[in-house]
Structure formats: C-alpha cells, structure tokens
Amino acid sequence: MVNPVVFKGVKDGIVAILNPSFSMNEILDYLEKILNERKVFFSGADLQVDPNGMSLTESDIDDLKKVFSRFGIEFSLKGTNIRISKEEITPRPDAGLQKTIIVSHTLRAGQLIRHNGNVVILGDINEGAEVNATGSVYVFGIVRGIVNAGESVISLGFMPLRMTIGNVIFDNNKSGKTYRKPRIATVENGKINVKVLGAKKSIRRR
C-alpha cells in the first residue's frame, strides 16, 4: 500500500518522506491521523521532513508546522533538499550564519528565496518573485520583483525599484523609477541610497 507519508528511522531521528503524487490536504490528513495514533512514539523526536521532490509553498509549510506543533513536535525540512529548483528554499534553522547560496537560474513569478545569509542570483528576479535575505543580494540580471535584504542589493538593473534594506523601505514616491545600469543599493543615514556600481568620487562639490 502506498501512503501519503512514509516514516523512516535514521541515525539522528526520524525522516518523514512525503509522496508527491498525493495532494497537500491528503498528506496533512494522514499526518494528523498517524500522529494521533502514535503520540508517544513521536513525542520529543527530532523529525525531518523530506519533500521528496514535492514543491512546497509557504502556506504548505505553515500547514505542516501547525499539524506538528499541535503534537509538540519540532521539525526541519531535510537539509539535503535545499535544492534551488524548489518553489521554496528553506534552509535548516541551524544553517550557518551569513552563508552564501547561489541560485543558478532566473527567479520566476511565485518563487521565493529565503535565506539567512547572502544570496547570489545568476539570472533575473521576475515580477512576482521575491528574495528575502539577511545579508546582501547580488543579482546578475534585472530585478523586476521584490528584494528584502539585510545589508545591500547589487543588480545589473532595477525596473522598477522596490526593496527594503534592513528596516528601511525604499521611498515609495520614487518606486516607479527604473535603472538599466548596474547599481548598488545600501542604507545611508536611514535612507536607501542607490549608486552606480563602482562610481568614483567626484571632486565636484554638490
């Protein structure tokens, strides 16, 4: 019999492997059932969820969290599955600080990258895609979507410019502005400052 979720014991805990041919609702129902039946077995276990090729969206992960937290179980998404082609990239909570990940394709509408560290994108960030990073975001392409960075955003072009750096939101009045040249955006004096990349200081007084 094929179940929506298969549990396997591994060295450092239990892995729940999702079956991509089932829908998220079936998976959640099944998990609820199993967890109810075997409360004792799972309590306090270190559980990893292996999406097994399934693309999990933000709300799917929230739903999983809800089910597990009801039974007092913490879980992490299986670390080896931080595959860039996933809908969602969720590094394990213990992933090293300020680590850099490289995304080797264009981010398309509906794709979200969230990372505790720096993110390098080899491609565009299209309209409807989003990057959240605690460090800097380097984009070897055009930014059409939304970027929330901790430190700075470097891109070959912004059209239009929408971002937050730290807690600073880019001035909305200028949000229609587009840049077609490489730029670096950083926070200076509590405002987001967009400069031409590699610009030399001018001797001209302003």
Binding footprint of another protein on the chain (CB under 8 A): 21, 23, 55, 85-87, 105-111, 123-124, 126-128, 144
Count helices and strands in the chain by DSSP H and E runs: 3, 16
Tokens matching residue 60:
């799917």
Helix (H) or strand (E) holding 47: strand 47-50
Kindly tell me which of 35 and 125 has the beta carbon lying closer to another protein.
125
Nearest approach, Cβ of residue 106 and another protein (Å): 6
Residue with tokens 């059209």: 159
Strand order in the sheet with 75-77: 5-10, 13-18, 47-50, 75-77
Give Cα separations from 27 to 3, 64, 92 (angstroms).
9, 9, 21
Kindly tell me which of 59 and 69 has the beta carbon lying closer to another protein.
59
Nearest approach, Cβ of residue 72 and another protein (Å): 32
Give the Cα separation of 140 and 204 in Å (integer).
31
Nearest approach, Cβ of residue 44 and another protein (Å): 34
Nearest approach, Cβ of residue 28 and another protein (Å): 16
Kindly tell me which of 21 and 173 has the beta carbon lying closer to another protein.
21
Sign of the torsion formed by the C-alpha atoms of 155, 157, 163 and 165:
positive
Kindly tell me which of 145 and 150 has the beta carbon lying closer to another protein.
145
Burial 57-93 (b: 16+ CB within 10 A, else e): eeebbebbeebbeeeebebbbbeebbeeebebbbbee
Kindly tell me which of 73 and 89 has the beta carbon lying closer to another protein.
89
Nearest approach, Cβ of residue 161 and another protein (Å): 17
Kindly tell me which of 51 and 150 has the beta carbon lying closer to another protein.
51
Nearest approach, Cβ of residue 85 and another protein (Å): 5
